[in-house]
Amino acid sequence: MKFSANLGFLWTDRALPDAIRAAKAAGFDAVECHWPYDVPAAEVAQALAETGLPMLGLNTRRGDVAGGENGLCALPGRASDARAAIDEALTYAQATGTGAVHVMAGFASGDEAHQTFVDNLRYACDAAAPLGVTILIEPLNRHDAPGYFLTTTDQAREIITEVARGNLRLMFDCYHVGRTEGDVVTRFADLQGVIGHVQFASVPTRGAPDQGELDYAFVFKAIQAAGWDKPLGAEYKTQGDTDASLNWIKTLA
Ligand SMILES: O=C(O)[C@@H](O)C(=O)CO
Ligand SMILES: [Mg+2]
């Protein structure tokens, strides 16, 4: 198994370039992040070059987080903010060789939000295609992100079909699927054709994967048996020191 360290949650006690170095030292095959925008892209690119790790993904900016926003791209009337966030993410991705951008929908519902998301995703995909960047959409579970526009993998698949762009894929986060839909291995098999990246954390506590109700020994074997050989994103919250949370690699890899 290959693993990608999600530096939005792992090694958050250090600056992003040092978190990349820590992931390399811990044996990860890749890294990914959430919102790297406070760190100059050149510093991230330097740490990636030094370690040889690829950056698999980053997210579009969420908007006014203090004001309760969690993404902009499905918000009616906010197309210019959404597209500025998409442009910013693609510029950062290009400067760091990042392979994918997760376009965050935000808190919204209804037909207008749906159409807004579809239009903004087409904009993102068309801008990303010449750069060789994949666009990802990710359903978030209703416990952690109540009111988020994108809530299920079926909804995501319908949107991917409607947007009809070859570089739009699903971020299959086993944690969100486990909390909202269950049946993780069957959902993975059913959706494999539209999946662009896989993430994981324990269910329901979002901790390391060697705890909780979801048996990741089983899940990882099934994903591997299905022919998925890309790094799986370790996107879990630690109780303190990240290095002390990594025992699962020995048992689950
Ligand atoms: O699962 C998550 O929360 C993340 O993958 C993310 O991108 C931010 O919400
Ligand atoms: Mg995720």
For residue 200, the CA-to-ligand 2 centroid distance in Å is: 7
Domain count, the chain: 1
Contact status, residue 201 vs residue 210, Cβ threshold 8 Å:
no
Residues in Cβ contact with 95 at an 8 Å cutoff, skipping those fewer than 6 apart: 41, 42, 45
Residue-averaged pLDDT of the chain: 98
User: 138 catalytic, yes or no?
Assistant: yes
Pocket mutation for ligand 1, best pick of 62, 103, 171, 175 (most atoms within 8 Å of C-beta): 171
202-235 confidence digits (pLDDT tens): 999 999 999 999 999 999 999 999 999 999 999 9
Q: What is the CATH number of the domain that holds 42?
A: 3.20.20.150
- Across the beta sheet with 232-234, the strand order is 30-32, 3-6, 232-234, 195-200, 168-173, 134-137, 100-102, 57-59
pTM for this entry: 0.98
Q: How many other β-carbons are positioned within 10 Å of the β-carbon of residue 112?
A: 13
Which residue's alpha carbon is at the smallest distance from atom 9 of ligand 1?
140
Q: Over the Cα atoms of the chain, what is R_g?
A: 17
105-132 confidence digits (pLDDT tens): 999 999 999 999 999 999 999 999 999 9
145-203 confidence digits (pLDDT tens): 999 999 999 999 999 999 999 999 999 999 999 999 999 999 999 999 999 999 999 99
For residue 62, the CA-to-ligand 1 centroid distance in Å is: 11
User: 69 catalytic, yes or no?
Assistant: no
Q: Is 32 in the pocket of ligand 1 (CB under 6 A)?
A: no
Structural domain harbouring 54: 3-252
Torsions phi, psi for 73 (to 5 deg): -85, -5
- The ipTM value here is 0.97
